[in-house]
Amino acid sequence: MYAFLFAFSLVGLALENETLKELEELYYEGSYERVIEITESLIASDSSIEKDMLLELHKYNGFSFVALEKRDSAKKEFKAILELEPRFLLDPQMVSPKIIEIFEEVRSEMPKIASIPKDSLEVEFPADTSDKRTILDYRKALLFSTAFPGVGQAYSGQRLKGWGFIAGEGLCIAGFIVSQVYTDKTHDEYLKATEPADIEAKYRVYNNWYKARNALGGLSIGIWFSAPLELVLFPPKWAKKR
């Protein structure tokens, strides 16, 4: 149970990273409508989004609305950012003057936030198009896949492989638990049997569950070891560049 919870928490982190990477690429490609579609869908469908992730979603939304000349919509997004994090500040050296102007206009319209001294604000840099993933990220992916098969693949952007490993391992673990329960149960029934024919029949049932348990256990171990090995033999494209 704890392994599953740990795995899903890691998968959540991996998917968040991939979502932000996708938004970053779409934004710098000029696909502003698509950025807005994705961010608004995520914000509307998931009330449990972490604060940092929510800030990024509103930021991309606001930037996209500015690019589309939708000033009022952009202001709503920037207001949402400041309500979440009053000390949020865009760096004028990294963000276009037009975006800065609208963002500061929103800040000035919020008296409590506007009164916060500028030197206490936290500068937030926008994401850029360069792939900043490093050898450390690759090692994290290996660590994640060692902790639970497939999580490292999902973290590194190989979602299909990742979910394949996660589903396979999950089914094996579930099957192993069920077969272990029935192995114990049928073993007890076999030991209690007294008639020769009954003993033979119950032994066959017990033996089948015993073999199934061992097979599923072996398969589970095989998947567990093969996941990090797969990442070593077939690393993601960005890791090959390092």
Q: From the first residue on, what is the mean pLDDT of each consecutive set of 10 residues in the chain (242 residues)?
A: 49 59 82 91 78 87 93 94 87 84 92 74 47 67 90 82 92 96 95 91 95 96 94 78 52
Please tell me the predicted confidence (pLDDT) of residue 63.
Answer: 93
The DSSP secondary-structure symbol of 134 reads -
pLDDT at 174: 95
* Residue after which a domain boundary falls, among 75, 98, 124: 124
User: What pLDDT was estimated at residue 238?
Assistant: 63
CB 126 within 8 A of CB 59: yes
Q: Is residue 6 part of a domain?
A: yes
Q: Residue 79 falls within a domain, yes or no?
A: yes
Q: Mark which of 97, 124, 151 sits at the end of a domain.
A: 124
Cβ contact 63:40 at 8 Å: no
Residues 8 and 120 in one domain: yes
Residues 111 and 210 in one domain: no
CA angle 169, 13, 131 (to 5 degrees): 110
- 61 and 167 both lie in a single domain: no
**Count of domains in the chain?**
2
Asked if 104 and 174 sit in the same domain, the reply is no
Q: Is residue 56 part of a domain?
A: yes
Residue ending a domain, among 100, 124, 148, is 124
Report the amino acid identity of residue 97: P
Q: Give one DSSP letter per residue of the chain, joined into a string.
A: -HHHHHHHHHHHHHHHHHHHHHHHHHHHHT-HHHHHHHHHHHHHH-TT--HHHHHHHHHHHHHHHHHTT-HHHHHHHHHHHHHH-TTEEE-TTTS-HHHHHHHHHHHHT-HHHHTS-GGGPEEEPPP-SS----HHHHHHHHHHHHHSTTHHHHHTT-HHHHHHHHHHHHHHHHHHHHHHHHHHHHHHHHHH--SHHHHHHHHHHHHHHHHHHHHHHHHHHHHHHHHHHHHHHS--HHHHT-
Query: Is there a single domain that holds both residue 27 and residue 106?
Result: yes
* Claim to verify: residue 120 and residue 163 sit in the same structural domain: no
Q: Is residue 75 part of a domain?
A: yes
Q: Is the residue at 15 inside a domain?
A: yes
153 and 215 Cβ atoms separated by less than 8 Å: no
User: What span, in angstroms and rounded, lies between the C-alpha atoms of 199 and 190?
Assistant: 6
**Same domain membership, residue 168 and residue 91:** no
Range of the domain at 63: 2-124
Whether residue 147 lies inside any domain: the answer is no
Residue 84 lies in a domain: yes
Q: What is the pLDDT of residue 235?
A: 85
Query: What element of type H or E holds 124?
Result: strand 122-124
Cβ-based burial of 235 (10 A; exposed 0-12, middle 13-18, buried ≥19): middle
Q: Are residues 6 and 120 in the same domain?
A: yes
Q: How many Å apart are CA 169 and CA 221, to the nearest integer?
A: 9
Answer yes or no: is 47 within a domain: yes
- Cα dist from 3 to 15, 41, 149, 185, whole Å: 18, 30, 10, 25
